[in-house]
Amino acid sequence: MKFRYLFILVIVVLVQACSPAKFIPEGEFLLDEITITSDNRDVKGQSMKSYLRQQPNSKWFSLVKIPLYTYCLSGKDSTKRFNRFLKRVGEAPVIYDEAEAERSREEIEKAVRNLGYIRGDVEMSVSKHKTKLKLEYKIKSDRPYRINSISLNSSDERIKCIIDGDSANTVLKVGKNFDINMLENERSRITGLLNNSGYYKFNKDMVTFTADTVLNTFAVDVTCNIMGFPSDNGKLTEKHPVYNIGDIFFFSEVNAHANSAKAFEGFQASQYDGYNFIYKDKLFLKPKVLMDNIYMWKGDVYSESNVQKTYQALGRLPALKYTNIYFRERENEDSLTIDCFVLLNKNKIKTMSIELEGTNSAGDLGAAASASFQHCNIFKGSESLTLKVRGAYEAISGLGDGFLHDNYTEYGAEASLNFPRFLMPFLSSDFKKNIRASSEVSLMYSSQIRPEFERTLASVSWRYRWSSGRRFQHRVDMIDINYVYVPWISNSFKEQLENETSSVLKYSYENLFIVRAAYNFNFNSHGFNTGFTNNVRNDSYNIRVGLESAGNLFYGISNMFNLQQVDGKYSIFRIPYAQYIKGDFDYVKNISFDDRNSLVLHAGLGIAYPYGNSEILPFEKRYFSGGANSVRGWSVRSLGPGSFRSKGQDIDFMLQSGDLKLDFNIEYRTRLFWKIHAAAYIDAGNIWTIRDYVDQPGGQFRFNRFYKEIAVSYGLGLRLDFNFFVLRFDSGMKAINPDKKGKEKFPIISPDFNRDFAFHFAVGYPF
């Protein structure tokens, strides 16, 4: 009882110390809360928060104003370092400003009227309690004005014909609200349309709108006016000039704006297929590469979209640091011609980097290091050659007797060559240019030496990558050949395998070929950025789909020619090959509440089916659950399959894998202060096997019980978000454990920290 009273006393003292009242001047009020309500479901109050000139103090997890209370813990003596620290990491009280509140009301009212509710207004009310103030804005939208008719006014018949020909894409529709934002979007559309049709000097200011209303009809007749072109004497002409592309010049490492002859001393000029190249010593890129990445041709009408395509295409070339394109109108000529100048700035061609990292695999600590070399213009066509070597060490605990050592070491090497073009025969050059794909060939070798066994992986692959717009990404692995070789198994581990009846374990330690092809598709509703984090953007969703197949071509050939089998399986060089099909689906939805708080929903499904030449999926292609990106109440590879319970043996990590995976996650993210973010989450999921294997009892997927075998965990995490990368520290506690029965299945009722807790360190967000 005494302890309870002491605890209550401490809480009371802390609350009193955190009170912001001491920082609020007399007669002023803390802006505690702002609410925006609306009488119209089409005019949402939440969407109007961006017009507020003052915002209340921020909340952690949208619940508690911890930054404010942190600030208020400090004393008024600014000479003390601790007080300065609390104020720096905290947030000063937001003092209510009546003038700013009124300006916010006016901005919201203006936004409502711009949506077509011209008679709408916004009322502001204030409620005060001690030193706190609550502000409420009530939107009264009234009846909307709607577009009754749309007409075009232009004396330039060619422009009128172009706009009328694209009328299907107009954002203005009869019957829609008279939305000022739609008028602005229509101005941008018309300007872009004409800029792509040769009107080099056309701009948005030349598009105006006239709106006529009839009293009490709530109907608006909209007229789009295209102004004439201003001539040299200031008068407007009827027709706008249409420009054609003249000569195209590529400047390599030279200031193309230089006008003096001295600026070009020592430079050379050459021509290739109608394009002009100016350079000092030698052109660092092949002319054909530049021509394949430019979308402008001599004699064509000017098109702004082709200029942007050229920027994007040249920006993909690793050999270029940046590109600048500008146009110059020819003087003293009757024809309307503009010459194009493309300024090329060379990137750093050769780079080296070294990476060091710490690892933590289920509590076993280790370290890894890698060194890489890159040449981004190896054949003068902006091809990137990357060479990388890597080594890792980890101390393994809990192995028991019978092993020569208790260390895990890994060393490997990779080489990849990337071509910034679509290397595929029998395809037209126009198709290759439009798809803007990159081609990559890679080689990889890795040797893993554990106390139980040694495993060697070697692979060679050929793949394509490309984007269609900002939102879509594609990757096709035309062929990926993997060779898995197990040269050595310890006697102790071999005895364990021989005592096992499970073909799953034995198959995992056999030599194997995996010859696969795959397609991966990625869509992001807000487009992909160039950052290094995988954090989703506000109010966006992301869809990832992957399809993979292996062994089908070889199996068809083997069947057709009735080739000899080894131990009941077809083989390549007397080594069996895997045959399976695999599909993955991932969905991530981000819901933003404000600039500090968001909710992220994730659902993932994966299924793989071995058949034909394989009864078991290769270990490298199986699914596992638990870990930093899955159900975080379990360590990596320690959950499932199904209700399977680990026996605590050294080889159980091989058994805790499956052919089917489900993941469901809900994560609330909040920014605390500085670069520190936090998250609270609930994870659910598991893995299962397609077939019923002897040494994985309870692991097979069954429709009548799988929902009972879904594991659930909850937890908290801290993240250091440096924009270009994220360090993540996540913890999880088991809530529902499918490998237990009775009360033990629900550790959330009686949690045990030693039994149910898992900690994870990772780089990047989990989804």
Residue 9 has pLDDT above 90, yes or no: no
The pLDDT score that the predictor gives to residue 7 is 42
Q: What do you get for the CA distance between the two ends of the chain, in Å? A: 46
* Domain endpoint, select from 237, 255, 285: 237
The pLDDT score that the predictor gives to residue 358 is 65
The pLDDT score that the predictor gives to residue 536 is 43
Average pLDDT on 293-314 reads: 93
* Element of type H or E holding 128: strand 121-129
Pair 150, 297 in one domain: no
Q: Is residue 735 part of a domain?
A: yes
Strands 207-213 and 676-688: unpaired
Q: Is residue 444 part of a domain?
A: no
Between CA 350 and CA 211 the distance in angstroms is: 60
Q: Is residue 47 part of a domain?
A: yes
Pair 25, 169 in one domain: no
Residue 706 has pLDDT above 50, yes or no: yes
The pLDDT score that the predictor gives to residue 554 is 87
The pLDDT score that the predictor gives to residue 215 is 76
Q: Is residue 597 part of a domain?
A: yes
Helix, coil or strand: residue 401 = coil
Which residue bears the tokens 């058949």? 611
Helix, coil or strand: residue 163 = helix
> Binning pLDDT at 50, 70 and 90, where does residue 114 land?
very high
The pLDDT score that the predictor gives to residue 281 is 79
Between CA 15 and CA 64 the distance in angstroms is: 13
Pair 231, 258 in one domain: no
The region of weakest confidence among 371-380, 417-426, 604-613 is 417-426
CATH of residue 133's domain is 3.10.20.310
The pLDDT score that the predictor gives to residue 238 is 74
Domain with 112, as residue range(s), is: 14-57+93-140
Q: Is residue 284 part of a domain?
A: yes
Number of domains in the chain: 4
The pLDDT score that the predictor gives to residue 405 is 61
Residues whose CB falls within 8 Å of the CB of residue 334, separated by 6 or more in sequence, listed in order: none
The region of weakest confidence among 210-214, 281-285, 560-564, 713-717 is 560-564
> Binning pLDDT at 50, 70 and 90, where does residue 530 land?
very low
> Which of 681 and 504 is assigned the larger pLDDT?
681
Average pLDDT on 313-317 reads: 91
Average pLDDT on 284-290 reads: 91
The pLDDT score that the predictor gives to residue 254 is 65
Average pLDDT on 209-215 reads: 87
Residue 639 has pLDDT above 70, yes or no: yes
> Binning pLDDT at 50, 70 and 90, where does residue 8 land?
very low
- HEC-encoded secondary structure of 166-229: CHHHCCCCCCCECCHHHHHHHHHHHHHHHHCCCCCCCCHHHEEEEEEECCCCCEEEEEEEECCE
Pair 249, 270 in one domain: yes
The pLDDT score that the predictor gives to residue 282 is 82
The pLDDT score that the predictor gives to residue 714 is 96
Residue 663 has pLDDT above 60, yes or no: yes
Strands 132-140 and 30-38: parallel
Pair 548, 660 in one domain: yes
> Binning pLDDT at 50, 70 and 90, where does residue 6 land?
very low
> Binning pLDDT at 50, 70 and 90, where does residue 164 land?
very high
Residue 452 has pLDDT above 80, yes or no: no
Pair 669, 608 in one domain: yes
Cα dihedral sign, 94-100-101-104: negative
Pair 186, 335 in one domain: no
> Binning pLDDT at 50, 70 and 90, where does residue 332 land?
low
Pair 631, 583 in one domain: yes
CA-angle at 197, arms to 193 and 198, nearest 5°: 130
Residue 108 has pLDDT above 50, yes or no: yes
Average pLDDT on 569-592 reads: 92
The pLDDT score that the predictor gives to residue 449 is 85
> Binning pLDDT at 50, 70 and 90, where does residue 535 land?
very low
Q: Is residue 285 part of a domain?
A: yes
Residues whose CB falls within 8 Å of the CB of residue 204, separated by 6 or more in sequence, listed in order: 187, 188, 191
> Binning pLDDT at 50, 70 and 90, where does residue 538 land?
low
Average pLDDT on 465-475 reads: 89
The pLDDT score that the predictor gives to residue 122 is 94
Residue 751 has pLDDT above 70, yes or no: yes
Pair 36, 178 in one domain: no
* Domain endpoint, select from 304, 320, 346: 346
The pLDDT score that the predictor gives to residue 532 is 37
Pair 263, 212 in one domain: no
Cβ atoms of 302 and 243 within 8 Å: the answer is: yes
> Binning pLDDT at 50, 70 and 90, where does residue 236 land?
confident
Long-range contacts of 506-511 (CB under 8 A, 24+ apart): 507/615, 507/616, 507/618, 507/619, 508/619, 508/654, 509/453, 510/486, 510/576, 511/483, 511/484, 511/485, 511/486, 511/575, 511/576
* Domain endpoint, select from 210, 237, 264: 237
Helix, coil or strand: residue 130 = coil
Pair 161, 290 in one domain: no
Q: For 257-313, list the strands marked E by DSSP.
A: 268-272, 275-279
The pLDDT score that the predictor gives to residue 743 is 86
What is the tens place of the pLDDT at every residue in 376-425? 999 999 999 999 999 988 876 655 555 566 778 889 999 999 999 988 88
Residue 607 has pLDDT above 70, yes or no: yes
CATH of residue 477's domain is 2.40.160.50
Residue 257 has pLDDT above 70, yes or no: no
Instruction: Compute the mean pLDDT over every residue in the chain, rounded to the nearest whole number.
Output: 86
The pLDDT score that the predictor gives to residue 12 is 44
Between CA 492 and CA 15 the distance in angstroms is: 62
**Closest CA relative to residue 652, chosen from 642, 641, 660, 661:** 641
Between CA 570 and CA 42 the distance in angstroms is: 64
The pLDDT score that the predictor gives to residue 533 is 40
Q: Is residue 266 part of a domain?
A: yes
Residue 584 has pLDDT above 50, yes or no: yes
The pLDDT score that the predictor gives to residue 17 is 53
> Which of 547 and 628 is assigned the larger pLDDT?
547
Percent over 90 (pLDDT), the chain: 51
Residue 486 has pLDDT above 90, yes or no: no
Tokens of 207: 């598009």
Between CA 545 and CA 468 the distance in angstroms is: 16
Residue 246 has pLDDT above 70, yes or no: yes
> Binning pLDDT at 50, 70 and 90, where does residue 3 land?
very low
The region of weakest confidence among 17-21, 187-191, 277-281 is 17-21
Pair 605, 725 in one domain: yes
Q: Is residue 458 part of a domain?
A: no
The pLDDT score that the predictor gives to residue 5 is 46
